[in-house]
Chains A and B, each alone.
Chain A
């Protein structure tokens, strides 16, 4: 499991982890009453985990410590307030901070990476993790958190707790390579991991996945599919809020036929189509639906293997292209 953070932790974190949140709060208050500067030093420790700052919020308020907090801690608390105020806009607080700033980006990375391992601390904490993940992915296009999000999704799935918003956030990255983090769970020894991976990757329910060998085979097949199709994969935006069988991504067969990369975000070619490509697509549309996938796959494979043969093949009428795709032609081998 990847909790996202394996680095050193602070004194207050150790107390919280070993003795619990209430003991940590009392210890912090005792320290503050005895030596305020010492308490400030402990909470501003670079090694502090976000979860500890989160649980000490009432004490920070009660002892008026906000102004003495480090920039990181103040920003983190402002982000928490912003998230609360988005839920209850009527309280009118939290509007001052812009979530698009670079400072917020780095603080959110700290919040999420050091917080993911503490998931389950409270409903509010988990919700803040979810929204932090969403903002990192959707606003800051941050991809380094994707493996951590993926692991958190599956950990929550094992515990049977809510994970749909986190799943939604994960796929908002619209990154074909991120699918490998989900595919990795196809090999898990936990049935619930495998079931969720199949659901998210849209693998048919009747796929045999009972043995380690079955799972490895499916995993290899998925990676092979991804390797072949990733330049043509686009994300649909489908989520578990919409359907129980979200088809989170699809393959643009036209692009695969033309061997032209598409944007995973909007399913449009990365470079404009040439007149020749537009003409080729018109021919492609003449082909029956069921033959298009085969034709696109043949085109991609030929292009990968031998670009000059592919150029030659693309000059043929589409009926001849289909014949060659079906029966092969020695000169194009």
Chain B
């Protein structure tokens, strides 16, 4: 159920979202859930819908960018924009515009190679760049370090936490765990993915697949005596949409 400023509302009243659109799908899922999804205003809800839509778009674009897969020890990045850290993350270079550096990953993906968790962070930054626009994005994120949930910007720290949700929505970060992974290939211990809706997920290195296909790929990298299948965890990571909306609103004021 969707509750705005204390009143239950129906998806039709939120805005002109076409049937079958990402936004309408999310609204229908929220409305049909028995759990209460509370917002202070319609605009706040619309911001979340817009950001979720851009998270999905950024995932699809990253998939097509040519971004390579490398384990953290062997990551690579374009040194014009990023400095590779000792841990295998990418640190925004001094004097570089954050928006340009993020866009470079999408435009010159083959110059970069990293693990699935870093790809999730790239997706969130690109989505916020699309929603905020260059000026606000550069002002909000003057320092960026891309790795996993380490050294995460305080504004995005919630995506580093994962917990059980009442309803799972397109744009959520999910995780496929592979508890019996072959220890020779620890990079297959699990796959961070973005829920694209329609049962599809984007996971860097695996691509755009449904849950069965991802589980099959992970299962192929289990140890010889494995007795536990890979599986999708009953939890999700989400940015704090409300806080990110607050930044957007204050900037517009």
B-binding residues in A (CB < 8 A): 82-83, 86-87, 99-100, 123, 126-127, 130-131, 134-135, 137-139, 159-162, 164-165, 168-169, 172, 237, 239-245
Contact = CB atoms under 8 A, between A and B. Distances in A.
A313 B80 CA distance: 70
Contact of A139 (B115, B183, B185, B189): B183
Interface string B70-109: 0111100000000001111000000000000000000000
Contact of B183 (A161, A169, A237, A245): A169
Contact of B186 (A99, A100, A169): A169
Given A131-B183, A161-B87, A162-B88, A244 B157 contact: yes
Contacts of A131: 183-184, 186
Contact of B190 (A127, A134, A172, A239): A239
B186 A237 contact: no
Contacts of B117: 241
A162 B185 CA distance: 16
10 contacts: A127-B71, A127-B73, A138-B183, A164-B72, A169-B183, A239-B189, A242-B175, A243-B149, A244-B149, A245-B161
Interface residues of B, number: 33
Contacts of A245: 160-161
Contacts of B29: none
Interface in B140-190: 148-150, 152, 157, 160-162, 175, 177, 179, 182-186, 189-190
B72 A244 contact: no
Identify the 5 closest CB pairs spanning chains A and B, nearest first.
A244-B149, A244-B160, A134-B183, A86-B184, A138-B183
B73 A240 contact: no
Contact of B74 (A123, A137, A161, A169): A123
A243 B86 contact: no
B189 A86 contact: no
B153 to A, nearest CB: 12
Contacts of A137: 183
Given A160-B86, A162-B72, A241 B161 contact: no
Nearest to A140: B183
A241 B192 contact: yes
Contact of A243 (B73, B74, B88, B162): B162
A168 B148 contact: no
Given A160-B87, A164-B72, A164-B148, A134 B186 contact: yes
A147 B55 CA distance: 42
B223 interface: yes
Given A126-B73, A159-B86, A245-B160, A165 B186 contact: yes
Given A82-B184, A162-B73, 17 more contacts: A86-B182, A87-B185, A123-B73, A130-B186, A131-B183, A134-B184, A135-B183, A160-B86, A160-B87, A161-B86, A164-B72, A240-B149, A241-B115, A241-B148, A242-B190, A244-B152, A245-B161
Contacts of B192: 241-242
B16 interface: no
A189 B191 CA distance: 36
A135 B237 contact: no
A83 B148 contact: no
Given A138-B223, A162-B72, A241 B189 contact: yes
A126 B157 CA distance: 29
A135 B88 CA distance: 23
Contacts of A239: 189-190
A134 B223 CA distance: 12
Contacts of B88: 162
Given A127-B73, A161-B86, A162-B86, A244 B184 contact: no
A243 B186 contact: no
Kindly name the residue among A131, A138, A164 whose own CB sees the greatest number of chain B CB atoms within 10 A. A164
Kindly name the residue among B86, B88, B175, B184 whose own CB sees the greatest number of chain A CB atoms within 10 A. B184
Contacts of B85: 160
B198 interface: no
B184 A243 contact: no
A168 B149 CA distance: 15
Contacts of A169: 183, 186
Kindly name the residue among B71, B87, B152 whose own CB sees the greatest number of chain A CB atoms within 10 A. B87
B13 to A, nearest CB: 36
Nearest to B159: A244
Nearest to B88: A162
